[in-house]
Amino acid sequence: MEWVYIDSLGGHVGKQVVVKGWVYNTRSSGRIKFLVVRDGTGLVQCVINKADSEEASAAFDELTQESSVIVTGTVGEDSRAPGGYEILASGLELVHAAEPYPITPKEHGVAFLMDHRHLWLRSSKQNAILRIRAEVIKAARDYLDGQGFTQVDAPIITPSAAEGTTTLFETDYFGDKAYLSQTGQLYNEASCMAMGRVYCYGPTFRAEKAKTRRHLTEFWMLEPEIAYGTLDMVFDLSEGLTTYVVARVLEKRKRELSTLERDIARLESVVSPFPRITYDEALKLLGEKGHEVAWGDDLGAAEETVLSEAFDRPVFIHRYPAGAKAFYMQPDPENEKLVMCTDMLAPEGIGEIIGGSERIWDIELLKKRIKQHGLPREAFEWYLDLRKYGSVPHAGFGLGIERTVAWICGIRHIREAIPFPRMLHRVYP
Ligand code: 4AD
Ligand code: MG
**Atom nearest to 167 CA in ligand 1:** 28
Pocket of ligand 1 (CB under 6 A): 162-163, 183, 185, 206, 208, 215-216, 219, 221, 223, 352-356, 396-398, 400, 402-403
Amino acid 161: pLDDT: 86
pLDDT at 106: 84
Atom number of ligand 1 nearest to Cα 188: 12
Q: Does residue 183 lie in a domain region? A: yes
Q: Which residues touch 12 (CB under 8 Å, ≥6 apart)?
A: 2, 4, 75
> How many other CB atoms sit within 10 Å of the CB of residue 11?
9
Number of domains in the chain: 2
Q: Looking at residue 52, what is its pLDDT?
A: 87
Task: Report the separation in Å between the CA atom of 170 and the middle of ligand 2, taken as the mean of its atom positions.
Answer: 21
Of 401, 319, 312, the C-alpha closest to 354 is: 401
Report the C-alpha gap between 411 and 113 in whole angstroms.
15
Question: Which residue among 169, 180, 181, 183 is best mutated to probe the pocket of ligand 1, counting the most ligand atoms within 8 A of its Cβ?
Answer: 183
Report CA(304)–ligand 1 centroid distance (Å). 14
33 forms beta bridges with 28, 48
**109 domain-assigned:** no
How far is it, in rounded angstroms, from Cα 351 to Cα 404? 10
Q: d(Cα 248, Cα 257) in Å, to the nearest integer?
A: 12
Residues 85 and 159 in one domain: no
What's the CA-to-centroid distance between 332 and ligand 2, angstroms? 18
Cα-to-centroid distance, 353 and ligand 2 (Å): 8
Task: Name the residue of 219, 226, 330 to mutate for ligand 1: max ligand atoms within 8 A of Cβ.
Answer: 219
Same-domain check for residues 123 and 88:
no
Q: Are residues 85 and 126 located together in one domain of the fold?
A: no
Residue 296's CB is within 10 A of a number of other CB atoms, namely: 12
| 320 CA distance to ligand 2 middle (Å) | 11
Q: Do 262 and 337 lie in a common domain?
A: yes
Atom of ligand 1 at shortest distance to CA of 404?
19
Identify the pLDDT of residue 43.
Answer: 95
Q: Which atom of ligand 1 is nearest to the CA of 219?
A: 25
Residue 94: what pLDDT?
Answer: 97
**pLDDT at position 271:** 97
Same structural domain, 195 and 268:
yes
In a domain, 111, yes or no: no
Q: Is residue 105 included in any domain, yes or no? A: no
Query: If DSSP codes are grouped into helix, strand and coil, which group holds residue 129?
Result: helix
Residue nearest to atom 2 of ligand 1 (CA): 355
Distance CA 4, CA 8 (A): 7
Among 45, 65, 96, residue at a domain's last position = 96
Closest atom of ligand 1 to 221 CA is 21
pLDDT at 370: 97
* Nearest ligand to the CA atom of 324: 2
How many C-beta atoms surround the C-beta of residue 348 within 10 A? 16
Note whether residue 63 is domain-resident.
yes
Mutation choice for ligand 1 from 205, 402, 403, CB with most ligand atoms inside 8 A: 403
> Is the same domain home to 300 and 170?
yes
**What counts of helices (H) and strands (E) characterise the chain?**
13, 19
Statement to judge: residues 71 and 137 lie in one domain: no
CA of 363 to the centre of ligand 2 (A): 24
Asked if residue 424 is part of any domain, the answer here is no
**Whole-prediction pTM value?**
0.97
- Could you tell me if 75 and 170 lie in one domain? no
Give me ligand 1 centre to Cα 343, in Å: 10
Q: How far is the CA of 299 from the centre of ligand 2 (A)?
A: 10
Provide the CATH number for the domain around residue 91: 2.40.50.140
Task: Please tell me the predicted confidence (pLDDT) of residue 219.
Answer: 98
Question: Domain range spanning residue 413?
Answer: 117-417
Is residue 429 situated within a structural domain?
Answer: no
Which CATH number characterizes residue 129's domain?
3.30.930.10
Q: What is the pLDDT of residue 317?
A: 98
> Is 85 in the same domain as 127?
no
**Same domain flag for 183 and 331:** yes
Q: What is the pLDDT along the chain (429 residues), one digit of tens a residue?
A: 899 999 999 999 999 999 999 999 999 988 899 999 999 999 999 999 998 889 999 999 999 999 999 999 999 999 888 789 999 999 999 999 999 999 988 889 999 999 999 999 999 999 999 999 999 999 999 999 999 999 999 999 999 888 988 999 999 999 999 999 999 999 999 999 999 999 999 999 999 888 889 999 999 999 999 999 999 999 999 999 999 999 999 999 999 999 999 999 999 999 999 999 999 999 999 999 999 999 999 999 999 999 999 999 999 999 999 999 999 999 999 999 999 999 999 998 889 999 999 999 999 999 999 999 999 999 999 999 999 999 999 999 999 999 999 999 999 999 999 999 999 999 999
Same domain, yes or no, for 89 and 143? no
Q: Which atom of ligand 1 is nearest to the CA of 224?
A: 12
Which atom number of ligand 1 is nearest to the Cα of residue 206?
A: 28
Left (φ > 0), alpha (ψ -120 to 50) or beta: where does 261 sit? Answer: left
Q: Which residues surround ligand 2, an ion (CB under 5 A)?
A: 355
Which residue's CA is the closest to the ligand 1 atom numbered 21? 400
Q: Same domain, yes or no, for 43 and 171?
A: no
The predicted structure's pLDDT at residue 418: 98
